[in-house]
Structure 1
Amino acid sequence: MNLPTLATIEDLKKFRWFSLAGKPLREDTSSAISVKTYGQMIENIDSNSWMNLRIQALNRITNSVREYDIDLFRSWNATAKEIMPISREIADAAIEYMDFRLTDREIISKQVYWDIHHLLIEAEYSSIIEPGLFSYISYWYSVGHLPCGWKGRAPNGNLLVY
């Protein structure tokens, strides 16, 4: 793993996971909208549109790596596999801070894991790509909220945050 990925891992370990989930946003909200209810959060975090947006962001990373260096692209799966257990460890630790309904923990846990994993992928290739969606949503995790969806057509629109 490269230095930006290692630094991101250390940063993730310092996040205030979910400490402000469900509370009004204190930060600049020009690019984010507060989701007011738990039900709205669950509806958005498990939506196809949120999943599709994140898949598109990952596809942009993949395509950028492939276009930049085909040999680097060929090592993509090995890189993702190396990052996987670290992503799981950080996600599992973050989940411990959850104060969500037991029935929803699996849905939220899965989203958090993939966000962390893709953030680390983004960091791993940061020498050839600009920070993207996963870096952006990691900010909201870092200040204690839960990114849970998108309103509008990307790249325009606003992140939904619980």
Structure 2
Amino acid sequence: MKSVKEFYDEKIAKIDWFSNCGNEINIITNLDFIHVNKWRDVEKNINSNWDNLKLHIRNSLTSSLHENWREEYREWNNITLEAKSLLKNGVLNELSTFIQENKLKNSVYESVEWDLLTAMMEYAYSPYVKLGFHTELFKVYESGHIPCGWKGKWPQGSLLIF
């Protein structure tokens, strides 16, 4: 397995959070995307449909690990605890401040937290399963934007990005 601390230190800790929101989107991703125009659009689209889609995709990851890499999957909870600790003691403080200062809904914070945690888990298990959806979402954060929903029926459709 790969180190979530390494991923945190080399990738997550270096992100300039939301620095390009509202600007042109210049990222290379395997997903089609649609640009949304303002934080209100972000808040509107971070909803139960978006949460359920991300949960469904994460469950596909855990199912694959359970079926094909059972011994490695037994470490899931330990790796998750380490990843949560890194996030809680690091960038989530900065993100919480941003959310409060900009008077955004807490659902924005919760969505980012989920995305980062799941991207860390994809990275940790990347020797066993192909990097997937949450790694693509992570590219959006790295570019200074925020993924905020899905338009269409998965897997067709487009990612919404601000």
Scaled by the length of structure 1, the TM-score of the pair is 0.86
Is the contact between residue 19 and residue 144 of structure 1 (CA under 8 Å) also seen in structure 2?
A: yes
Equivalent residue, structure 2, for 1:114: 114
Is the contact between residue 15 and residue 141 of structure 2 (CA under 8 Å) also seen in structure 1?
A: yes
Scaled by the length of structure 2, the TM-score of the pair is 0.86
Equivalent residue, structure 1, for 2:75: 75
Task: Please state if 1:127 is matched with 2:145.
Answer: no
Q: How big is the shift at 1:100?
A: 6.1
Q: How big is the shift at 1:2?
A: 2.4
Structure 1: gaps (5+ residues): none
* Secondary structure of the structure 2 residue equivalent to 1:159: strand
What value does the CA root-mean-square deviation take over the aligned residues? 2.2
Is the contact between residue 91 and residue 116 of structure 1 (CA under 8 Å) also seen in structure 2?
A: no
Aligned residues: 159
Q: How big is the shift at 1:90?
A: 2.5
CA distance in 2, matches of 1:95, 1:24: 25
Identity over the aligned pairs, expressed in percent?
27
Q: How big is the shift at 1:99?
A: 8.2
Q: Which amino acid aligns with 1:79?
A: I
Equivalent residue, structure 1, for 2:35: 34
CA distance in 2, matches of 1:50, 1:122: 19
* Secondary structure of the structure 2 residue equivalent to 1:102: coil
Change (3 A) 1:156 1:129: same
* Secondary structure of the structure 1 residue equivalent to 2:11: helix
Structure 2: gaps (5+ residues): none
